[in-house]
Structure 1
Amino acid sequence: MRKLLACLAVLMTAFLTPAQAAEPNGAPDALVRDVTNEVLAIVRQDKAIQGGDTRKVLQLVDEKVLPHFNFRRMTMLAVGRDWRSASPDQQQALTDAFRTLLVRTYSNALTQYRDQTIDFKPLRMAPADTSVQVRTEVRQPGAQPIGIDYMLEKGNDGWKVFDVIVAGVSLVTNYRGTFAQEIRTGGVDGLIRSLQEKNRALESGKAGA
């Protein structure tokens, strides 16, 4: 999990600026490529982020990342079949807690960004497709390249990410086993409490990524 989240810190930079927000119907690979290149240049020059200012990154992620992710769909996929048995209030609580967990974790990990570069793969997409996979590869000195694929779905408000696949491992699938175990132990409310506890630990700096 630690390796997965550290790698995902790079992908979060792909959605940190508002430049693409005005083009909700643009191509999904262009969204990823153009914003990634722009933001990585900014992060390389931001001494506060490089110095570990997670609060600054958290604010940036909260303002600029959230509009490009469908956290409700991500949570639904991560919870799996137990989602249907959750009440609307529980579903909302799960979505809020899972969103906070991802944002806080990625914000902490983003401060570790240094010299990674992104290789963008050709997009395979038919004109009528509303769900696509944008493939990228993260290259970093002294390490093997890591594949990071973005699963995006097009809705009325443009393309949004609903899953990320790192080195062949799906984010939502990776969480699904843990969530299922939490629900078996304490029900849906138990999972909500567990997520909230993790968020409090991250906020206080007591939990590692």
Structure 2
Amino acid sequence: MYIRKVLFLLVLSFVFVSNLYGIEESKIKDTMQEKIDTVIEILQQKDKSKIEKTDKIFSIMDEVFDYTVMSQIALGKDWASLSSDEKKKFTKLFELKLKNSYIDKLDLYTNQKIEINNLEKINPKRIKLLTYLIGKDDKYEIEYKFYQNSNSDWLIYDVNIIGVSIMQTYRQQFSGYLKNNSFKELLASLDGSNK
């Protein structure tokens, strides 16, 4: 049951696409609250299919996640050695992997609420937004990490679920895989998992 709950946290936390606009610093809390509330409303719609729900969710959240930066973090030092084409391929396949994974877990939603707690500026280029997923009997911490882009807007580059960085988790997995396999094999494995 614990694993199911953690997986559900990921459903609410990861809704990625690659179009970026960012958020003004002063509007982060209000914008995120509005987006989260809308996602919850969509999840509660009994007359919508899983695909219809996810399409709507992705369209709502697509402006605040930097998928390229997330891919770079997930690959770590291996990112620098890739060609531009390889970076694009990996980013797209990584996006699809996450989307497919979380679409499968939408059924775990059972009327939980998300409460925005605190916004903290860690340094001039980093902000973290602390939220809580609140169910009938449980409360889980979800922390969104933002960085400031070249346009001075703020985008999410990582999410901590109960203290665990999702990007660092993938970084460890990919690093371990690439010790014994080529990057082409990694792309093939991601492509296979997306079918």
- TM norm structure 1: 0.78
Structure whose residues are more often helix by fraction: 1
- Per-residue deviation at 1:10? 2.0
Cα distance 1:163–1:77, how it changes in 2: closer, same or farther (>3 A)? same
The 1:38/1:73 distance shift into structure 2, 3 A limit, reads same
In the superposition, relative to structure 1, how do residues 91 and 3 fare at CA in structure 2: closer, same or farther (>3 Å)? farther
Letter in 2 for 1:147: E
1:6 counterpart residue number: 8
Encode CA deviations 1:143-191: one digit per residue, 9 max, x unaligned. x311100011222273221100000100001111211122122211111
1:150 aligned to 2:144?
Answer: yes
Matched pairs, number: 188
Provide structure 2 residue ranges, at least 5 long, that are not aligned to the other structure.
Answer: none
Tell me the alpha carbon deviations over residues 82-132 of structure 1, each in whole angstroms, 9 at most, x when there is no partner.
Answer: 111122111111100011111222222223212111122121238x83321
Contact 2:14 2:98 (C-alpha < 8 Å) held by counterparts:
no
Give the corresponding residue for 2:64.
68
Distance 1:100 1:65, change over 3 A: farther
Distance verdict in 2 for CA 1:10–1:62, change over 3 Å: closer
Match of 1:41 in 2: 41
Check 1:158–1:106 CA distance in 2 against 1; reply closer, same or farther (3 A cut).
farther
How much has 1:12 moved relative to structure 2? 4.4
**Percent pairwise identity:** 23
Q: Which amino acid aligns with 1:194?
A: S
CA distance in structure 2 between the partners assigned to 1:154 and 1:184 by the alignment: 33
Q: Say yes or no: does 1:182 pair with 2:181.
A: no
Contact 1:61 1:107 in 2 (8 A): no
CA spacing shift, 1:63–1:122, aligned 2, 3 Å:
closer
Deviation of 1:194 (Å): 1.1
Q: What is the CA distance between 1:24 and its match in structure 2?
A: 3.6
* Other structure's SS at 1:121 match: strand
Q: Please tell me whether the aligned partners of residues 90 and 189 of structure 1 are also in contact (alpha carbons under 8 angstroms).
A: no
Rounded to whole Å, the distance in 2 between the matches of 1:86 and 1:3 is 36
Deviation of the 1:9 alpha carbon: 1.1
Matched position secondary structure for 1:8: helix
2:162 is matched with 167
Structure number having the greater strand percentage: 2
Distance in 1, matches of 2:89 and 2:13, equals 25
1:24-52 superposed Cα distances (whole Å, 9 cap, x missing partner): 425222221222123313422x1145xxx
Superposition CA RMSD, Å: 2.6
Q: 1:140 aligns with which of 114, 124, 135?
A: 135
**Equivalent residues of 1:57, 1:107 under 8 A apart:** no
- Letter in structure 2 aligned against 1:189: K
Distance 1:157 1:95, change over 3 A: farther
CA distance in 2, matches of 1:113, 1:152: 26
Structure 1: 5+ residue runs without aligned partners? 201-209
